């Protein structure tokens, strides 16, 4: 079996993999953060100082109601006790509400080969979307969007 040497992880390598997977993305020109929008969640890929690649997700639902926030925190604790990735947690947003977040990180000082990089990205995305879908099952009233991303009409389920 031929070993493939690790290569430096760059935003260009990440976007090349996303393109190959036909994933829609946009890049912040200021910090090279790569934003990957899904109907129910925004995923953010970042190369952090110190050689860490991070895939961070923010669920679209609003956890402003204290009971919903409490249920989401219990969900996160249970999910984290059962799953290796992603880490799931609830934290405040800039608008005074709370959001469910997912996070996967890997240390990359020596780089990653293409298979490793693609695997990290796809597992991070799929596991984050899985976590969000499970929360949506637990708190269906917080899903205020249709499958195409458009807002649901008032009173529609």
Q: Mind listing the pLDDT tens digit for each residue in 111-140? A: 999 999 999 999 999 999 999 999 999 999
For the chain, the maximum distance between any two Cα atoms, rounded to a whole number of angstroms, is: 58
Model pTM score: 0.90
What is the rounded distance in angstroms from the CA atom of residue 109 to the CA atom of residue 18?
22
**pLDDT recorded at residue 59:** 97
**pLDDT recorded at residue 3:** 60
**pLDDT recorded at residue 148:** 85
**pLDDT recorded at residue 5:** 86
Assigned fold of 11-142:
Yope Regulator; Chain: A, (3.30.1460)
For the chain, the three-class secondary structure string (H helix, E strand, C coil) is CCCCCCECCCHHHHHHHHHHCCCCCEECCCCCCEEEECCCEEEEEEEECCCEEEEEEEECCCCCCHHHHHHHHHHHHHHHHHCCCCEEEEEECCCCCEEEEEEEEEECCCCECHHHHHHHHHHHHHHHHHHHHHHHHHCHHHCCECCCCCECCCCCC
Domain range summary for the chain, segments of one domain joined by +? 11-142
Residue 154 pLDDT greater than 80, yes or no: no
Closest CA to 97 of 57, 61, 121, 49: 61
**pLDDT recorded at residue 49:** 79
Mean pLDDT for the chain overall: 93
What is the rounded distance in angstroms from the CA atom of residue 45 to the CA atom of residue 54?
6
Percent of the chain with pLDDT over 90: 78
Higher confidence at residue 42 or residue 151?
A: 42
Question: Predicted confidence band at 155 (pLDDT cuts at 50, 70, 90)?
Answer: low
């Amino acid at each position: 079996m031929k070993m493939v040497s690790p290569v430096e992880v760059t935003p260009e390598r990440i976007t090349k993999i996303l393109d190959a997977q036909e994933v829609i993305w946009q890049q912040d020109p200021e910090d090279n953060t790569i934003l990957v929008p899904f109907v129910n969640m925004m995923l953010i890929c970042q190369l952090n100082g110190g050689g860490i690649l991070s895939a961070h997700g923010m669920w679209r639902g609003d956890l402003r109601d204290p009971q919903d926030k409490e249920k989401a925190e219990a969900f996160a604790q249970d999910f984290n006790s059962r799953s290796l990735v992603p880490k799931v947690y609830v934290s405040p947003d800039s608008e005074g509400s709370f959001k469910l977040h997912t996070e996967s990180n890997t240390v990359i000082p020596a780089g990653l080969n293409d298979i490793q990089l693609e695997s990290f990205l796809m597992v991070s995305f799929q596991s984050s979307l899985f976590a969000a879908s499970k929360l949506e099952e637990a708190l269906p009233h917080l899903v205020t969007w249709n499958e195409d991303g458009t807002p649901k009409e008032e009173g529609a389920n």
